Amino acid sequence: MGMISTLKQRWRRNVQLQQCWREQRYVALDLETSGLDPRVDQVLAVGWIVVEPPLLDYGQARYAVVQQQPDLKQSPVVHGLLQRDFRAAEDAQFVLQHLAEVLENAVLVCHHVGFDWQFLSAFAKAHNVRLKPLAKFDTLTFEAQRLRMQQHHLARGSLKLAACRQRYGLPDYQAHQALTDAIACGELFLAQAYHYAGRANVSLRNLLSYN
């Protein structure tokens, strides 16, 4: 029974990947962490927004501080998070269960998805929550591939979120926190996808091939 269920899931996933990318649901996400190493550093806060092309659904946006006993390190400088911000910390397992529901049959979108997914999957595992996005899309990798194909020189800082957004005429957001950056990432994703695929019936699999 378990094998049959797995085969059915793989078949449904394959069918979904063949469908037009505009018919899919995406979840743009960003994390605030205490450092760069998921083995020793903490997830401090998470923000996400659901993207249903061509729109971002602000009704399905969420920001939550999730660490009860934070090790802030450089966070006040990097994220602006202070000790008092954690008095309203939410239960991490509850937030992760909500995220698991949102990610079901959706594509996870991040700017440097490898970094966020390492932290996110370790954090979820520690709270006995399983996250199963349909696929993952990296706006940073997509932009790097696009620029290399056009034989652009990748200067230092040229793949930062703000720099990538600027190339598509998107405004810069000054207040950098997880939800703001998730929204910025979601907007960048739409700009990239429409620039690449236009309104043609490009499949989700084809769009993901850039990653």
* Confidence (pLDDT) at 64: 95
* Confidence (pLDDT) at 136: 97
Domain residues for the domain of 63 are 22-208
- Interval 9-46: pLDDT, tens: 788 888 899 999 999 999 999 999 988 899 989 999 99
Judge contact between 95 and 123, C-beta under 8 A: no
Within a domain: residue 88?
Answer: yes
Within a domain: residue 17?
Answer: no
- Interval 102-120: pLDDT, tens: 999 999 999 999 999 999 9
Sorted by sequence, the CB contacts under 8 Å of residue 68 that are 6+ apart come out as 86, 89, 92
Of the candidates 138, 71, 67, 136, which has an alpha carbon nearest to the alpha carbon of residue 108? 136
Q: Rounded CA gap, 178 and 33, in Å? A: 10
Within a domain: residue 89?
Answer: yes
Within a domain: residue 4?
Answer: no
Judge contact between 99 and 117, C-beta under 8 A: no
Q: Rounded CA gap, 119 and 124, in Å? A: 9
Compute the half-sphere exposure of residue 83: CA atoms within 13 Å on the CB side of its CA.
Answer: 3
* Confidence (pLDDT) at 72: 58
Top mean-pLDDT range of 54-58, 87-91, 146-150: 54-58
- Interval 71-93: pLDDT, tens: 656 554 445 566 666 778 899 99
Query: In the numeric block, which tokens belong to residue 207?
Result: 């769009």
* Confidence (pLDDT) at 168: 96
Q: What are phi and psi of 39, to 5 degrees?
A: -75, -30
* CATH number for position 79: 3.30.420.10
Stated pTM of the model: 0.91
Within a domain: residue 3?
Answer: no
Q: How many CB atoms lie within 10 A of CB 79?
A: 20
Angle at 104 between CA 115 and CA 202, to 5 degrees: 80
Strand order in the sheet with 107-110: 55-65, 43-52, 26-33, 107-110, 135-138
If one counts the domains in the chain, the total is 1
Within a domain: residue 13?
Answer: no
Residue listed under structure tokens 């929204």: 183
Within a domain: residue 45?
Answer: yes
Percent of the chain with pLDDT over 70: 90
- Amino acid 114 reads G
Within a domain: residue 15?
Answer: no
